[in-house]
């Protein structure tokens, strides 16, 4: 079981900063509350004038809220353990995902960075491709086949997670070479749709990507789709190192800024009879986008096959968060809470008797008169 455990979206670890900020805010609020009470009266006097006042209950409410936020973050990470086998109909679509792993993909204008956002998009896209073969190619200064066409999602996901700027032999960004490598990696000439999905910021160093996409479509019927990542306006700097040694990439004494080249990506998609998805720095539902784009492509039905899928468990943590928030709402700042308030409320019938003269009093008053 431990070996099957994984987080499908590890990029959402960044949201832990929200829990840390909430924890610091809670601690500060509790300390300020105690100081105000201490200035108002000493402990003995407070116990007499406010016997139901509790110092532990606000802490309990804060802890419940923090636990709920933590559970929400875990749910966003999409934890999975265990697996199931599904029998799916082979639909005949072959799709190569081509991922830019050059240094510019480390820019953080798309959170947490462009490369991690590309991985997340591909993970989502797999949901729209059940029964289709997928493959993976990484490129920078050279293109490398990381995973051949396969129905084995676990093998594909493993190759996807290992992508890093160090996963290619040399630096640079040769998009055209990557498209040519993907086109040559389709294994047969059978009827059916063949697709290349490129995820990049669009930077290229004279590799003629438009011509490569046009030739792939003309010779092999391969359609090329592009997904643009990064800010096309101001762009972003490229981080180097991490922690205390973290700095920005410098060339000839100046910091390097990288911007998304959406013009090139549009031209590549047009030449390859595909479509361009300008993700930029936004989140994009790749499953829906690909389903709409690829749904009309002709597919050759094949034999059914059995695939292994990991089981998502995020709903457990989402449910736990709801329960914790509901429990937090039931905890009062005072001992006894709403029960004590109910018991100490003024009785309406008693109040009515106090404010309305009784029949006996009225009778005595009339006799006296």
101-144 pLDDT tens trace: 999 999 999 888 999 999 989 988 888 787 788 999 999 989 99
Of the given ranges (49-63, 72-86, 139-153, 313-327), which has the lowest mean pLDDT? 49-63
- The string of pLDDT tens digits covering residues 132-153 is 889 999 999 899 999 999 888 8
175/4: higher pLDDT: 175
With beta carbons less than 8 A apart as the criterion, state whether 188 and 158 touch. Answer: no
**Residue 43 pLDDT greater than 90, yes or no:** no
**Cβ-defined contacts of 327-331 (< 8 Å, 24+):** 327/64, 328/61, 328/64, 328/65, 328/68, 331/57, 331/60, 331/61, 331/64
Residue 116 in tokens: 């991690």
367/260: higher pLDDT: 260
What's the CA gap between 363 and 105, in Å, rounded?
94
243/228: higher pLDDT: 228
What's the CA gap between 174 and 137, in Å, rounded?
12
The whole model's pTM is what?
A: 0.63
**What are the residue boundaries of the structural domains of the chain, listed by start?**
2-78+316-368, 91-302
Between the alpha carbon of residue 169 and those of residues 9, 162, 172, 297, the distances in Å are 27, 15, 10, 35
What's the CA gap between 166 and 184, in Å, rounded?
24
Instruction: Give me the mean pLDDT over the 242-270 stretch.
Output: 88
**Residue 27 pLDDT greater than 80, yes or no:** yes
**CATH domain 91-302 topology:** Rossmann fold (3.40.50)
**Cβ-defined contacts of 315-323 (< 8 Å, 24+):** 315/75, 317/71, 317/72, 317/74, 317/75, 317/79, 318/71, 318/72, 318/75, 320/68, 320/71, 321/68, 321/69, 321/71, 321/72, 321/75, 322/68
With beta carbons less than 8 A apart as the criterion, state whether 167 and 137 touch. Answer: no
């Amino acid at each position: 079981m431990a070996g099957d455990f994984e987080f499908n979206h590890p990029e959402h670890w960044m949201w832990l900063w929200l829990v840390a900020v909430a924890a610091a805010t809670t601690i500060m609020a509790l300390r300020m509350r105690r100081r105000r009470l201490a200035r108002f009266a000493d402990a003995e006097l407070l116990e007499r004038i406010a016997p139901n006042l509790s110092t532990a209950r606000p802490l309990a409410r804060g802890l419940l809220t923090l636990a709920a936020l933590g559970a929400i973050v875990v749910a966003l990470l999409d934890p999975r353990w265990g697996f199931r086998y599904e029998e799916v109909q082979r639909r005949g679509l072959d799709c190569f995902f081509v991922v830019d792993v050059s240094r510019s993909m480390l820019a953080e204008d798309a959170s947490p960075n462009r490369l991690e956002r590309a991985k997340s998009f591909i993970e989502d896209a797999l949901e729209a491709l059940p029964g289709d073969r997928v493959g993976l190619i990484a490129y920078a200064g050279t293109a490398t086949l990381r995973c051949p066409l396969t129905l084995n999602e676990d093998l594909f996901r493993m190759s996807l997670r290992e992508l890093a700027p160090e996963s290619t032999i040399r630096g640079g960004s040769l998009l055209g070479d990557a498209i040519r490598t993907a086109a040559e990696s389709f294994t047969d000439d059978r009827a059916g749709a063949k697709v290349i999905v490129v995820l990049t910021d669009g930077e290229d160093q004279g590799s003629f990507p438009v011509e490569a996409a046009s030739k792939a479509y003309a010779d092999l019927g391969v359609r090329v789709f592009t997904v643009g990542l990064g800010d096309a306006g101001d762009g972003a700097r490229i981080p180097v190192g991490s922690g205390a040694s973290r700095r920005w990439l410098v060339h000839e004494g100046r910091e390097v800024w990288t911007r998304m080249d959406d013009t090139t990506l549009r031209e590549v998609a047009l030449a390859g009879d595909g479509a361009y998805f300008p993700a930029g720095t936004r989140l994009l539902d790749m499953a829906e986008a690909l389903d709409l784009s690829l749904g009309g492509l002709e597919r050759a039905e094949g034999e059914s096959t059995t695939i292994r899928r990991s089981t998502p468990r995020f709903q457990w943590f989402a449910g736990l968060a709801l329960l914790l928030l509901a429990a937090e709402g039931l905890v009062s700042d005072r001992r006894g809470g709403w029960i004590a308030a109910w018991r100490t409320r003024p009785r309406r019938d008693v109040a009515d008797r106090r404010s309305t003269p009784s029949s006996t009093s009225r009778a005595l008053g009339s006799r006296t008169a």
